[in-house]
Amino acid sequence: MKVGVLISGRGSNLKSLIDACAAPDFPAEIVVVVSNKADAGGLEVARAAGIATAVISHKDYPTREEFDAAMDAALQDAGAEFICSAGFMRILSDGFVETWRDRQLNIHPSLLPAFKGLKVHERVLEAGCRVTGCTVHFVRAAMDEGPIVAQADVPVLPGDTVETLSARVLEAEHKLYPLALRLVAQGRTKIVDERVVIEHETAEAQAPLMMPPR
Ligand code: GAR
């Protein structure tokens, strides 16, 4: 499956997907990385891996729809059949979401539907949560919403700061995103009533979808 990755920043999740795709049996390859920011660190990560990049700045387009149309063109030109958003921090237009419906994943650093949006770890600490985590989900028009493919739970430890907690969640993200993309690219997921059903799902088969595995 040919995948385009959308980024806005450092690109550590992009790197985890690139590394996963390097395995000969991985059922996806990254054909283009699109960033809305010219200085996104992830662009260097992509270039170092020999992957085509495109910078499409939202500031160059008067409307969200026109910006999204430019992104769509870059993805289509590169032959992308599927999108992974990896730290892409723009809200997408309804038209773009519909065009890529059921063909776009996003990763978010919380156990959705809790803590959508920004400053997730601050809010998790503020709320006194004992557990947090990360989620990979299909993209829908509402931000950080959509059918959930996989989640990983991460404990909140006494003395955690935003830095220590986000680092621990990020480690889980780097395992979870390749796992979720593999399932989807293998054609093992289908969406029924806006929930993801995974082929041959049993209690045991579900175990690898939880990190740490149990
Ligand atoms: C990741 O923590 C990702 O979950 C988050 O941005 C970070 C990007 O880091 N995404 C969101 O908050 C989306 N709502 P990265 O650039 O190192 O992959």
What would the pLDDT profile of 112-138 be if each residue is shown by its tens digit? Answer: 999 999 999 999 999 999 999 999 999
Catalytic positions, written as ranges: 108
* Mean pLDDT to the nearest integer, 166-187: 98
- Atom in ligand 1 nearest the alpha carbon of residue 143: 14
> How far apart (Å, rounded) are the C-alpha atoms in residues 150 and 140?
16
Strand partners, 106: 85, 137
Would you state the torsion angle of the CA atoms of residues 168, 173, 179, 184, taken in this order, to the nearest 10 degrees? 160
**How many domains are there within the chain?**
2
For atom 12 of ligand 1, the residue with the nearest CA is 108
Same domain, yes or no, for 208 and 113? yes
Q: Which residues does ligand 1 sit against, CB inside 6 Å?
A: 9-13, 42, 86-87, 107-109, 144, 170, 173
pLDDT of 213 > 90? The answer is: no
Closest to 87 measured CA to CA, from 65, 64, 109, 54: 109
Task: Tell me the CATH number at 40.
Answer: 3.40.50.170
Same domain, yes or no, for 138 and 86? no
The two counts, helices (H) then strands (E), for the chain are: 7, 9
> How far apart (Å, rounded) are the C-alpha atoms in residues 118 and 86?
14
Model confidence at 214, pLDDT cuts 50, 70, 90, reads very low
Same domain, yes or no, for 115 and 203? yes
Chain segment 182-199, per-residue pLDDT in tens? 999 999 999 999 999 998
Beta-strand relationship, 2-7 and 53-55: unpaired
